[in-house]
Amino acid sequence: MIRGRPVRSEIRENIRSILSSNGPCYGYEIFKIHDKDFFPCTREVIYYNLKKGVQLGIFRVSKKDVVKGDYSWGSNAVKTYYDLA
């Protein structure tokens, strides 16, 4: 019997189809598309599967943008764009 989480994930497969049709996207954009086109899930699950997909070699970080603004946590935010590996 295999223990632990399975390597395959339905959400990761959905993210793969989103990236193949839309090109590079950042995490929150992927979350909004997934919520609209597939079943609803939390942002944390999307971010977990993006990080796990990078570890498995399914996705890659294409770029990171620093966006200036007036946010509750500070003066800038980092948008990490993901693409298929």
The answer as to whether 4 is a domain residue is no
Q: In the prediction, which pLDDT does 52 show? A: 95
Q: Give pLDDT tens digits for 36-84.
A: 999 999 999 999 999 999 999 999 999 999 999 999 999 999 999 999 9
pLDDT class of 3 with cuts at 50, 70, 90: confident
The answer as to whether 1 is a domain residue is no
Q: In the prediction, which pLDDT does 4 show? A: 83
Q: Does residue 57 contact residue 42 with C-beta atoms inside 8 Å?
A: no
The answer as to whether 63 is a domain residue is yes
Residue 54 lies in domain: 10-84
Q: How many domains does the chain have?
A: 1
Q: In the prediction, which pLDDT does 39 show? A: 92
31 closest CA partner among 18, 20, 84: 18
Q: In the prediction, which pLDDT does 6 show? A: 73
The answer as to whether 38 is a domain residue is yes
pTM of the model: 0.86
Contacts of 2 (CB under 8 A, 6+ apart): none
